[in-house]
Amino acid sequence: MSIKTIKVIIADDHEIFRDGLKLMLQKQPDIIVAGEAGDGKELIELVKQHLPDVVITDVKMPNLDGVTATKHLTMYYPSIGIIALTMFDEEDLIIDMLEAGAKGYLLKNADKTEIIEAVHTVADNESHYCRLTSKKLAGMVAKSRFNLQLKTQKADFNEREKEIIHYICEGLTSKEIGEKIFLSVRTVEGLRLKIIEKMNVKNTAGIIVYAIREHLYMPLQ
């Protein structure tokens, strides 16, 4: 059976970073790096030539930044999954990228496993929230206009699940949650996986975004 390949274009003005990302992605049997761009203008030209499935682009680039390039690509190539690449302190820029049409974001210090997971997720037209996302940023994403049109059907949660959702949003570990509600770590982990499945999210950041949007959790202002 042939493997379905995902064609990717990388855009970043730091050549060393691009080279490392390209080398890592090319080791995957189902990912092809079709091109590399050093700025937003180059990115748009490469997308016209190669029509990739996924674009991984830095936000801050010369000539044309990632937000402007993303707006253009979303308008003319809406089926392409765009992943924003940002630094940990660029929270406002992450929101700008998502509202411009990016389907997800990665912090530049995300690990190899997550980068590959993000490529597969957005290639399937799903959202990806970086695992390293802070509670503050997850709250900003939840309150943004990002992806509201793709909101999934609302799930029902029992009181125990709602309690665990609250503690996850508060930043507690499974061990800490277990100690608070007198459950084993294994039981808490099992309930956490069930919550993730019901919400149709990938990780803790996804849980927080979903919980705030659906009024299951109200962060303190």
Nearest Cα neighbor of 181 from 162, 154, 199 is 162
CA distance 59 to 84: 6
Residues 176, 97, single domain; the answer is no
pLDDT in tens, the chain (221 residues): 457 899 999 999 999 999 999 999 999 999 999 999 999 999 999 999 999 999 999 999 999 999 999 999 999 999 999 999 988 778 889 999 999 999 999 998 899 999 999 999 999 988 999 988 888 888 888 888 886 545 556 789 999 999 999 999 998 999 999 999 999 999 999 999 999 999 988 899 999 999 998 889 987 65
pTM for the full model?
A: 0.84
Report if residue 141 sits inside a domain: no
In three-state secondary structure terms, 35 is: strand
pLDDT in tens, 25-81: 999 999 999 999 999 999 999 999 999 999 999 999 999 999 999 999 999 999 999
Assign residue 46 the CATH number of its domain.
3.40.50.2300
CA 151 – CA 49 distance, rounded (Å): 32
What contacts 187, CB < 8 A, 6 or more positions away?
Answer: 178
Q: Are residues 12 and 95 in the same domain?
A: yes
Same domain for 109 and 35: yes
Dihedral sign (CA 167, 89, 63, 38) = negative
Only one residue has tokens 């042939």, namely: 2
As a residue count, the chain comes to 221
Q: Are residues 25 and 97 in the same domain?
A: yes
Residue 33: C-alpha distances to residues 46, 73, 91, 101 (Å): 11, 18, 28, 21
Residues 54, 16 share a domain: yes
pLDDT of amino acid 89: 73
Same domain, residue pair 155 and 103: no
Q: Quick check: helix, strand or coil at residue 17?
A: helix
Asked if residues 219 and 171 have their Cβ atoms less than 8 Å apart, the reply is: no
What confidence score (pLDDT) does residue 73 get? 97
